[in-house]
């Protein structure tokens, strides 16, 4: 019985860390006092301690305690015993490498599948898909595999950006990159825009937030799905 929030980002324009989604987190982590924070993605290369402090300050606003997973002598046992789990954003390759290094892929997946409430943002959302092949991050580390937790029947592209017709940027768009992915791979990809998230309750996957999502399926033109749509049929 999964209970998850899979968010595109931790911070939207004009808001503090997790501020835009705190009401939803109060529901997700209801009756839970302490949440295990996975800081391995290390945004901008900050330390695990500094990253944990940022998460702690945000969750203190809703009366929750945060404990960094890096502080446990045995992180596997910490995940198995966790009442709630939050994996923050940063570099997805770094995050996945560390999860494999500490043998956390199996216990993390088992904990989530058996009902431990889970929040993922950005990289922490990428790892919930089938693979991390649709991340926007640079491959600054080489994980043993690109295979992720497989908690969703599709891949995620967090921070999805639409092409700007007025931009002078000559590089590839997100849509172009995902089309390249589908030249070699067949799983669907959900482009999650800033401020959007997926709510997973048992087997129901619902798009939440104010914006639609861009959906990419193999050998099909991309299309939009409005907020409130169930995504269970994407596979």
Catalytic residues: 122, 137, 159
Straight-line distance from the first to the last Cα atom of the chain, in angstroms, rounded to the nearest whole number: 19
Euclidean distance between CA atoms 120 and 193, whole angstroms: 15
Q: Could you tell me whether strands 189-191 and 155-157 are parallel, antiparallel, or unpaired per DSSP bridges?
A: parallel
Q: What is the dihedral of CA 185, 209, 11, 63, to 10 degrees?
A: -120
Q: What sign for the dihedral angle of Cα 116, 120, 124, 130? A: positive
Q: How far is residue 203's CA from residue 45's CA, in Å, rounded to a whole number? A: 35
* Residue 20, both tokens: 């835009």
3-state secondary structure of 60: helix
Q: Is 182 helix (H, G, I), strand (E, B) or coil?
A: helix
CA dihedral 87→92→95→96, nearest 10 degrees, is 110
């Amino acid at each position: 019985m999964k209970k998850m929030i899979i968010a595109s980002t931790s911070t939207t324009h004009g808001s503090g860390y997790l501020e835009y989604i705190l009401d939803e987190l109060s529901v997700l982590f209801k009756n839970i006092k302490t949440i295990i924070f996975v800081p391995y993605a290390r945004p901008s290369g900050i330390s695990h301690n500094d990253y944990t402090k940022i998460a702690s300050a945000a969750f203190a606003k809703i009366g929750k305690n945060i404990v960094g997973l890096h502080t446990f002598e045995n992180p596997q046992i910490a995940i198995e015993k966790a009442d709630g789990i939050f994996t923050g954003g940063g570099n997805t390759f770094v995050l996945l490498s560390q999860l494999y290094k500490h043998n956390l892929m199996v216990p993390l997946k088992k904990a989530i599948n058996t009902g431990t409430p889970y929040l993922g943002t950005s990289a922490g959302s990428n790892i919930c898909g089938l693979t991390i092949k649709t991340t926007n991050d640079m491959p600054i580390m080489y994980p043993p595999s690109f295979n992720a937790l497989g908690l969703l029947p599709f891949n995620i592209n967090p921070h999805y950006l639409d092409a700007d017709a007025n931009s002078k940027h000559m590089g590839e768009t997100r849509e172009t990159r995902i089309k390249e992915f589908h030249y070699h791979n067949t799983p669907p990809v959900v482009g999650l825009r800033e401020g959007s998230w997926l709510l997973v309750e048992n087997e129901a996957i619902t798009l939440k937030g104010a914006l639609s999502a861009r959906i990419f399926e193999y050998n099909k033109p991309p299309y939009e799905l409005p907020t409130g749509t169930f995504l269970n049929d994407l596979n």
